Chain A
Amino acid sequence: MRLGTTTLPSPPAGGGDAPAPCAITLRPGADLDGFRSAARSLVAQRVPPEAVTWSITDSPGLFGSDAEATQAAPLALPKPVAALIPQVIPHRDPERYGLLYALIWRVCHGERHLMEVGSDPLVHRLHRMAKAIGRDLHKMHAFLRFRRAENSGGEHFVAWFEPDHHILEAAAPFFVNRFRGMRWSILTPEGSAHWDTETLTLGPPGDRGKLPEGDGFEAGWQTYYESTFNPARTNLKAMRAEMPKKYWHNMPETAAIPALVRAAAGRTEAMIEREPILPTRREPARAVAAMADQDPKTLDALNAIIRRTEPLVPGATQAVLGEGPVGATIAFVGEQPGDQEDRQGRPFVGPAGQLLSRAMAEAGIDRGASYLTNAVKHFKFEERGKRRIHQKPTAGEVSHYRWWLDRELEFVAPKLVVALGATAVLALTGKAVPITRARGPFRFERHDNRFQGFITVHPSYLLRLPDEAKAEAYAAFVDDLRRVEALGQELAA
C-alpha cells in the first residue's frame, strides 16, 4: 500500500508565531495507512489542525519526498477514538481527514474524554459520518446480489454493486466469512474484490459488463418476493426509507414493485368484499384423532422411537432401553448406561449392575420380575487410552431424556419406583435432592405421574468406596432393598 506524503514544516521555534501551513496528500479512497502516518507526524511536530491542508491525489510524491522519512511513533489514543477513525475514513466527504485530525488534536491536548461528549459538534458530526458508513456497509451486505457463472474452475459468483462511500475493502470480510466455500468476485466502480476460497485479492475498478446476463434463480426469487408481500399492509414510505430507490437497479426482485403496488388496493378490496366462506368441511375430530394417534401406544412403540433417536452427546453405540415386565411391582431407575451396558445394549449388566443383582438377591427381590431402566438412555464417556471413562450426565441432558422416562413408567405402571442415586432423583422430581437426607420412602410427583417411591444410593457409589467402608455401605444398601421389597409387597397387596 502506498504511503501518503506529508510536507512538514520545520519544528516550531517556540513563542507565539503562527504555525507554518502544512500540506498533506493522501491516496484516493479510504487511505487509513496514509492518514495514520500523517497524523503521527503532525502530532509529533505539534502542527495544529488549522495549519493543515488535506488533499487527495493519485500520484503521491508529487509534493516532495522529505515526508516519507518521518515515521513518527504511534499515538496512544483512547479506545473509542481509535475505533472511530477506521469507521470514518471510508467516507466520501473530503473533509473527513481534517475532522479526524481535529479530533485527535483535541484528544491529545487536554480533552481525553471528548468521545463521551456526544453533544460536541465535532463528535456529533463524526458520529454521523461513522453512522453513514455503517449504513452503507450494511446496505452492501444486504442488497448485493450474486449471479452464478460457469468457467474453467467451475462455479463462480459475480456481483456488481455501487456503494456510496469507499467501503469495498471494509465490506469484503463479511462476504469471506459467509461465502468461504464459494469462488466469487464483487465489482464496483472504484475497485473489485475476488475470493478463490482461500485468498482475498483487491483489484482495479470493475466492469459492469462482466456481470453474467442473468441467473437461474432470479425468477424464483422474484416469485418469492411477490408472494411474501401482503397487499393489505401496503406502506411505500416505509419500504423506500429502508430500501432507497438508488439500489433498485441492481436488485432483480424490485422489478416486481410497480405491478405489486398497482394491484394492491384492488386485491385488498376483493378480499374484504368477498362473501365470507362458511366453514363447510369442518372436521375437528380428525385433527384430534391424529393427535391422539401419534402417541406411542405400547412400551415397544416408545422403545422404537428411543432406539432410532441419536444420542444427545455423540459417542454411544446404541440406546440402552429399560428391561423387565410391564406391570412389574417395582421399577428401578439408575443414572445412565455404562461401558458394558453400551456394548451389550442391556441395563445394569456391568460391575455396578452385578452388585445390584447380588444385593437384590440378598434382599429377596426377584430381578427378573422387576423393571430396570436409566434416566439417560445413552452412554457418555471420555476416552482415556483404550478405556472409556463414564461421565455424569448434566441437568440439561437429564431433562432432554426425561420425557421418555415419564412415558416408560406410565406404561410399566409399577407400584413402587426406586431411584438409585441423585441423577435418578433429579429425573423423577425435576429438582436436585440430596440423597443422604432424602434416603428412604419418597413420593415422586411429576406432571400426571404420581408414584410411591424410594430413594437410595446408586450401586456404583458402593464400588467407588474405599474397602474398609464398603462392607458397611453395602449392608445399608441391602437393608434399603429389604425395605423396598417389603414396601413393594405391601403396595401390591
Chain B
Amino acid sequence: MDETLAKKLRILADAAKYDASCASSAAPKRAAGKDGLGSTTGAGICHAYTPDGRCVSLLKILLTNWCLFDCAYCINRRSSNVRRAKFSVEEVVNLTLNFYKRNYIEGLFLSSGIIKSPDHTMELLTRVAKSLRRDHGFAGYIHLKSIPEASPWLIEEAGLYADRLSINVELPTEASLQQLAPEKDGAAIQGAMAQIGERIVQAKAEKRRFSPAGHSTQVIVGADATTDEALIRKSALLYGSVGLKRVYYSAFSPIPDGSAILPPKPPPLQREHRLYQADWLLRYYEFTPDEVADASEGGMLALDIDPKLAWALKHREKFPVDVNKADREWLLRVPGLGARAVDKIVAARRHATLRLDDVARLTSGLKRARPFLVAADHRPVGLTDRLDLRARLVEPATQLSLF
C-alpha cells in the first residue's frame, strides 16, 4: 500500500471513529457465489478489538472529511483545523477488497463529510457500494451512512446495495440542533428515516432487497443538557415510528480542536453504558419508557447500579418472585436474570423443581438476583426490605479513569 493512500487512510479512519456503530449483524445469510468474494453470517464478527475495548468489524472510514457543515460536536466541521483528505471511489473499493481478502474485516462502513452538495456526496457513497456489488461480486457487509439532506431518490438507490442505512439524529432535541448543528434540519432527518423505514418494510413484503439489515441511528450523549429520560423517550419514539433496528448512544468524546460551545469535560462512559441497558429494557424486557423514567432520579439513570436493579429497588413490594412459578414477564423483571436465562428457567422448570444451585447453572447473575428470588430451597427473608440492599449490590467500578 503506498504512502499517500496510507496517509489518507490515517486521516479518514480517524475522522470516522466517532461513529459508535460497527455492527455487521442482521444481514440475511449470504455466501459468495462461484468466483465471488464475501459472506454474511447474521450475527456479525468482530475481527479485532482496539485498546478502547471496541470491536473492529467493518472498515469504518469517511470518503472525505472536507465538509460544508459546521456541527460543533464534529471533528470534521467546516471550522475545524484538522487535516483533510479525500478518497476516490476506486480507492475505497480496492481498500475494502484487499482488507477483506486478508480476513481483516466483515465489510465496509462508509460515511462522508458533505462536499459540493448532499446529493453529490450521496451519489459518491452509492457508487462505492454499487461498484463493490456489481463490478466485484462482493457479498460482504456494507453499511452506508445516508445523508438526510440528499434527494430522496438517491436514498432509494443506496438501499439497493447497502445492508444497512443509517442517519444520525446526533442531537435529540430541536433546540440543541439549532445551537450545535445550525445547518441540520430535524424534519429532514425525520423524513429520510421515515422513507427508509417504509421502504424496508415494503421490500421485505415484496422479497426485494432494500437495506435488509434494517436502519439505525446515533445520538450523542453529554454534548447538551438532554436527560437520560428524554433520550430513552426519543429512542422509544424512533423504534415505534420509523422502525429503527438500533439506537447507538455515543458519549460525547473530547476531540482535537474542540469547539468553544462544547462542555469542557466528557460525560462518564458509564452513562453511555446505562443508556444501552435501558434501551435493552425497552426492546427485550417489555419495559415502557415510563418505567425506565421511573427507574431514574430526576431523569438521570444511576451510574452505580443498572436500571433494572434501580427499578426493582423502587418496587420492592413486587418481589421476591418465585423462580418455579412466576410468569415469564415477572422473571424478566428480576435483576441479574437475562432474557436467555429466563427462557432456560422456563424450559427447565417443566421437568424439575429448581433450587438455588440449579438457578446458578442457568444464569451468571445470581448474586444480583438472589434477594429478589424464591427457589425451592431459598427465600430471601427480609433481604428484599433491607435498607442497605442497594449498597450491597453496587458493582465495583470497573471503568478505568484517566484522570
Q: Which residues on A are within 8 Å of B, measured CB to CB?
A: 113, 116-121, 124, 138, 141-148, 157, 159, 174, 177-182, 197, 215-217, 219-221, 223-239, 241-243, 251, 253-254, 257, 260-261, 264-265, 268-272, 274, 276-284, 286-288, 290-291, 293-295, 305, 309, 312, 394-396, 399-400, 403-404
Contacts and interface: CB of A to CB of B under 8 A. Distances in A.
Contacts of A219: 1, 6
A142 B76 CA distance: 31
Given A235-B52, A403-B153, A216 B1 contact: yes
A148 B256 contact: no
Contacts of A216: 1
B53 A237 contact: yes
A253 B49 CA distance: 10
Closest CB pairs A-B (n = 3): A238-B53, A119-B358, A396-B202
Interface size classification for chain B? 35 or more
A290 B68 contact: yes
Interface in B97-132: 98-99, 101-104, 114, 116-120
Interface stretch (B7-15, B281-289, B313-321): B7-15
Main secondary structure of the interface of B (DSSP, over half): loop
Interface stretch (B26-34, B238-246, B295-303): B26-34
Query: Interface residues of A: mostly helix, strand, loop or mixed?
Result: helix
A53 to B, nearest CB: 27
Contacts of B183: 284, 287-288, 291
A253 B48 contact: yes
A159 B256 CA distance: 38
A116 B348 contact: yes
Nearest to A397: B206
Contacts of B395: none
Given A116-B351, A277-B258, A309-B153, 5 more contacts: A143-B48, A177-B39, A227-B13, A271-B256, A274-B256
Nearest to B136: A181
B359 interface: yes
Contact of B182 (A233, A268, A284, A293): A284
A243 B206 contact: no
B1 to A, nearest CB: 4
B148 to A, nearest CB: 11
A480 B394 CA distance: 75
Given A119-B348, A277-B80, A283-B78, A400 B199 contact: yes
Interface string B263-304: 011100100000000000000000000000000000000000
Contacts of A180: 31-37
B169 to A, nearest CB: 18
B205 interface: yes
Nearest to B58: A228
A178 B206 contact: no
Interface of B: 1, 5-6, 9-11, 13-14, 16-18, 31-39, 41, 45-56, 59-61, 68-70, 72, 78-81, 95, 98-99, 101-104, 114, 116-120, 137, 140, 149-153, 156-157, 160, 182-183, 198-199, 202-203, 205-206, 208, 210, 251, 253-260, 262, 264-266, 269, 344, 347-348, 350-352, 354, 357-359, 361-362, 398-400, 402
B28 to A, nearest CB: 14
Contact of A396 (B9, B153, B208, B259): B208
10 contacts: A116-B351, A147-B102, A227-B10, A230-B18, A257-B51, A271-B256, A274-B258, A276-B258, A284-B69, A399-B199
B13 A116 contact: no
A265 B102 contact: no
Contacts of A124: 361
Contact of A294 (B9, B99, B119, B351): B119
A148 B5 CA distance: 19
Nearest to B70: A282
Contacts of B354: 119
Nearest to A254: B48
Contacts of B54: 230, 233, 238
Contacts of B14: 227-228
A295 B33 CA distance: 39
